[in-house]
Amino acid sequence: MTVTIKGTGKRKSRRDEILEIAVGLFASRGYHGVSMDDIGTAAGVTGPALYHHFAGKEAMLAAALKPVSEGLLSGGQACVAESGGDATAALRRLVDFHVEFALNNPAVIALHLHELDRLPEEPRREIRRLQRQYVEVWVDMLTKARTRLAAAEARVLAHAAFGLMNSTPFLGGEVERDRRASLLRDATLRALLG
């Protein structure tokens, strides 16, 4: 499972297919509202057969969330590297990157928002560490693009931007995808760059 769960064109492994089904179920019913048998039924395998791929629901949750945080961090770092030292260009790339992620993965965002605390301490701590590093990529570019902005203020703006972009689980289909992307990008850039 990668950050761009949907639309990659890459053939998914059976493990990734099962994980994507589990993410959808966890996001819609909540972690405690889904059993291994529920996941197995939705995936077309028996619940016990899932243990061939995952040690249990906690392992599925960790497998769903940690690669997302790793992918966001590496993708964010790539956006900065591709911007040739131009902080404003880097912020535009970061916004484009994150909006695409958010539109492609609303179930993962919902899962993260509601279920991260269900993880055991060690994977939860690792995911939080990766998230903090991703935020600092944004903070660094914000303080370079807006030199009067303190790092703490930039952190507030970065989290506000994530709130805007990560609203995708709560958006209906009334507005077509390209227009939703445009609205999210524009609103986020206005929030960040003033």
pLDDT tens per residue, range 127-175: 999 999 999 999 999 999 999 999 999 999 999 999 999 999 888 778 9
Domain map (residue ranges) of the chain: 57-193
| pLDDT: which is higher, 155 or 26 | 155
pLDDT, position 4: 44
Average pLDDT for 118-134: 94
Question: CATH class for domain 57-193?
Answer: mainly alpha
**Within 13 A of 58's CA, how many CA atoms are on the CB side?**
9
Confidence of residue 2 (pLDDT cuts 50, 70, 90): very low
Q: Pick left, alpha or beta for residue 172 (phi over 0 → left; psi -120 to 50 → alpha; otherwise beta).
A: beta
pLDDT digits (tens, 9 = 90+) for 88-111: 999 999 999 999 999 999 988 988
pLDDT, position 50: 86
pLDDT digits (tens, 9 = 90+) for 47-66: 678 888 998 888 998 988 99
Confidence of residue 6 (pLDDT cuts 50, 70, 90): very low
98-113 per-residue burial string, b: 16 or more CB within 10 A, e: under 16: bbbbbbbbbbbbbbbe
**Cβ 23 vs Cβ 39: under 8 Å:** no
- Please, what is the average pLDDT of the chain? 90
| pLDDT: which is higher, 12 or 36 | 36
Average pLDDT for 1-11: 45
Cα-Cα-Cα-Cα torsion 14, 18, 24, 30, nearest 10 degrees, comes to -160
